[in-house]
Structure 1
């Protein structure tokens, strides 16, 4: 019997992007994995997400409420309404398996799998398993991890550390490239620094970089490209000076990764995984208010493996970043070594390997 599979890839880009990567594999390899249909289940508010503009399969939209900030008496009724719609949509499409990517928006699909005794698989992107993984792993057939987790997974649950699934459009044309082997020889060894605050931007990162560029020794050696986030573009542009390149957002990130020798970013699992496949060293500045402080754990793991340095701060004080950059100015071999470690941790085939783990063929 062929599978009809729903990928519950909901709330944020960190859940959507790997979910779309899995959908790409399943739609291309239907016969290999004995699949009849593939669907993505995502929130209606994600319609403008770049990864869902031209999805590889049908998207089933839903509008499940988030409990946070909602009156407790109202939430059950709103959730029940959306869950009922989900059940009707899944029954109509004869869904036989659900892959949950995490986040509250995957809850209706997961509950459907449990209630109607369908196969349930879970993907966990972060070093600290989210609530969905912690609460529902015991119902899962298998669990796929992007990184080793801080807390041990139950020995009763089959799991495997595979890596975060990467979309096809991100994967480098030439596998195994190392961005820092020559550090742009012929350009006076200028180091290109890509700054990523996420689609919503990060004022802290933007301001830290602008202050960093005021250091003449840094300015001499490093060139910066800052993806500010659309809401912070005008503000950051008005403050910028010199040759710092200010961009609001990029739908196609591959050219930016190919340009970069170094990335300064938050430590979401998606950004980290993309930097790894390009062999990029990182300076990670975890978002301090992330659920369960998972960004800190992600950053600490990558630093421990030698692919990044971290800055644990809520201020835009540039002193530590300046210190790192000036160290690399006189010792670029450290950047090269970090790049090698980054590439060592990468897995460009994580999407295919995850599907193969869930549906052996």
Structure 2
């Protein structure tokens, strides 16, 4: 297949990051997969996204409007102009195949593939398929899943794993920080807290309250990645020895430092924690579309790599209970770490591209 392949990288980090991981593979081995060029297609507002600051290929920027609110009635008119620009550009670049990563911003590329009979492939990151996957599955050649779909959904595809960027992948695989944990108060357990790119006030406050327990404070060392907007607030409220960081462009050192991760349950964070063999305490974002974070967390918990807290409050009671239960039982963390690693797929990006084009 000559011509070019285009990756519609979505409007949020959860769609962008795996799209960039696929672009890395294609850019490196473009002729192997039968194309002349690879492009990323993303929203103008994502120009400052860390994954797109130094991309592996040319990024084509667009500004298709978001659907919803008062715009719904006039959306077709608002959509038409950027879509016509997309058609002309894609014709010029000889786009022959489109990989949709999900989200409304992938709509122009997907519609182009359907209308002009180009090959369409879809990637679904979550256990609950998004609207794009559900609507356009019947038009796609193949669909790659990051995790098994929740049982109420029956969409044909292959579960491969969430594509991970090269810069996040561990240099030495099979890193198991928890192998070196031993019983006793002198053996500190490192807990990495991730609230996502925008941060999560609930997680930050829950951790700070948990640290008020002296047994927790003595045994666990916390590192909070608060998100830029919540950094000052969290720093001000912190009274313990927690390490407060607003944002980290390079996540690898943080994962290598951690013994446990406390996080939301977006697909990207889950995939990255798995390749580092990390046990997780997952607190799903309760307002995520179709409650997909809940299903993601439930799947990882069902496999034995995580414990889930379903809560909308900052009450630390359950978190404290879990951490105290693990305090003198490092064998639990070791076993969860082994399970986590077994669920990972460090080669998901290459395997996804190979599945689509071989």
Q: Tell me the SS of whatever aligns to 1:35.
A: coil
Is contact 1:41–1:62 with CA below 8 Å preserved after alignment?
A: yes
**Distance in 2 between the 1:302 and 1:240 partners?**
30
Paired residues of 2:3 and 2:93 also in contact (CA < 8 A): no
Q: Which stretch of structure 1 is more off in the superposition, 294-303 or 175-184? A: 175-184
Which residue of 148, 163, 166 maps to 1:165?
Answer: 163
Cα distance change on mapping 1:349 and 1:217 into 2, 3 Å = same
Tell me the residue number matched to 2:294. 296
Q: Secondary structure at the match of 1:133?
A: helix
Q: CA deviation at 1:177?
A: 1.4
3-state DSSP class of the match of 2:71? Answer: coil
2:182 and 2:105 mapped to 1: Cα distance? 44
Deviations 1:71-120 (A, max 9, x none): 23331111111111111111110100000000111011000000000000
Q: What is the TM-score with the length of structure 2 in the denominator? A: 0.98
1:280 paired residue number: 278
The gaps in structure 1 that reach 5 residues or longer are none
Aligned length: 358
- 1:335 match: 333
In 1, are the aligned partners of 2:184 and 2:328 still within 8 Å (CA)? no
Q: What is the CA RMSD across the aligned residues, in angstroms?
A: 1.4
Task: Tell me by how many angstroms 1:186 deviates.
Answer: 11
Between Structure 1 and Structure 2, the one with more helix by share is 2
Equivalent residues in 2 for 1:128-143, closer than 5 Å: 128-143=128-143
Give the 3-state SS of the residue equivalent to 2:138 in structure 1: helix
Q: Does 1:4 align with 2:13?
A: no
CA offset at residue 218 of structure 1? 0.3
Q: Distance in 2 between matches of 1:259 and 1:3?
A: 44
TM-score, normalisation: structure 1: 0.97
Encode CA deviations 1:33-56: one digit per residue, 9 max, x unaligned: 122100000000000000000000
Q: Which structure 2 residue ranges, 5 or more long, are not aligned?
A: none
Question: Structure 2 matches for 1:8-87, cutoff 5 A?
Answer: 8-87=8-87
- Of 173-182 and 123-132, more deviation after overlay is shown by 173-182
Question: Which residue of 333, 351, 354 corresponds with 1:353?
Answer: 351
Q: 1:184–1:190: 8 Å Cα contact kept in structure 2?
A: no
CA distance in structure 2 between the partners assigned to 1:28 and 1:334 by the alignment:
40
